Amino acid sequence: MGYTHYYQILDLIAPKWQTSWPQLIRDVPKIAEAARVEITGPSHDDAIITPILADIEHGIYLNGVRGNSGEPLVIKGEKGSFNFIKTGRKPYDAVVTCILLRAYNLAPKVFSLSSNRLWKGWINGRELYERLWPNEVIQRPSGVELREGERSN
């Protein structure tokens, strides 16, 4: 099975999502750059690096590169589209989990996020988030469980 992250935009016209979506699009390149891992955008060959897609109209698309690629992270500005991604714990997982956490923290009532990976397993994405937004407290999505005795932050 492997680790799987599930996500969904619940209400495209909610005022919170209307302000959060453009902010998320602006934040994606910052996250990818700060992670210092090879990331690519849309490509039919995982050895070819293309710019990541982070566009209000077309959404978000990124993946790892070569042997560090897996399923791409795709977030489109479409309501109700239930999505999932399996990163196989590859280096780009930190970018993926950080982006998903950013989307959730910008609009927690509008962006649904869950995972079969425990909160502890999100550490690389959480550390990346904390480096970029040190004054923000990361909200743990209720769909990401804690291990017994583990604290949220």
List, in sequence order, every beta strand (DSSP E) within 1-152.
Answer: 5-9, 39-40, 53-55, 59-64, 73-75, 83-85, 111-115
Record the pTM.
Answer: 0.94
User: Using alpha carbons only, what angle is made at residue 142 by residues 75 and 4, rounded to the nearest 5 degrees?
Assistant: 50
- Does residue 43 register a pLDDT over 90? no
Partners of 112 in the beta sheet?
A: 8
Residues in the chain: 153
Q: Report which of residues 62 and 77 the model is more confident about.
A: 62
- Does residue 46 register a pLDDT over 80? no
Summarize pLDDT for 70-124 with one digit per residue, the tens: 899 999 977 667 899 999 889 999 999 999 999 999 999 999 999 999 999 999 9
Q: Token digits for 108? A: 């927690």
Query: pLDDT category, 152, cuts 50, 70, 90?
Result: low
Q: Give residue 122's pLDDT.
A: 95
Summarize pLDDT for 117-142 with one digit per residue, the tens: 999 999 999 999 999 999 999 999 99
